[in-house]
Amino acid sequence: MSIFSFLFPKGNQSDAIQILDRDTYKSAIAKAKVQLVDVRTAGEFRAGHIKGARNVDYFQSSAFGEAFSKMKKDEPVYLYCQSGNRSQKAARKLVDMGFSEVYDLRGGYRMW
């Protein structure tokens, strides 16, 4: 095994995570019932959220893991946060948990 294959394995997390612009994201979540998750705090969620989203606070580590353990890993998950930072971290956690298709809203809810 070369040092490059060790440092940059094939099938890395970025293959499972896609960042979508607002219009593409909006079209994707409108097509069917999807796993749509807002990873902001409960207060941020109450202040406004995308219709149909479930709130799973990224900062509540044990509740975060428990909520996603009950979701379907073989179906797409659509994430967003306020700006895109937390949702990217959440997306990486989901891939580590076995989710194979994760979509993130570019710019987060503020771009919605």
**Domain containing 81: what range?**
17-111
At residue 33, the pLDDT reads 87
**Is residue 11 included in any domain, yes or no?**
no
Q: Which of the 8 DSSP states describes residue 81?
A: -
**Is residue 2 included in any domain, yes or no?**
no
Domain count of the chain? 1
Instruction: Give buried/exposed letters for 53-84 (b at 16+ CB in 10 A, else e).
Output: beebbbeeeeebeebbeeeeeeebbbbbbbbb
At residue 6, the pLDDT reads 46
**Is residue 1 included in any domain, yes or no?**
no
**Is residue 36 included in any domain, yes or no?**
yes
Counting as low any pLDDT under 70, the low residues of the chain are: 1-14
Cβ 74 vs Cβ 98: under 8 Å: no
**Is residue 100 included in any domain, yes or no?**
yes
Tell me the catalytic residues. Answer: 81
**Is residue 4 included in any domain, yes or no?**
no
**Is residue 12 included in any domain, yes or no?**
no
**Is residue 88 included in any domain, yes or no?**
yes
CATH number of the domain that residue 38 is part of: 3.40.250.10
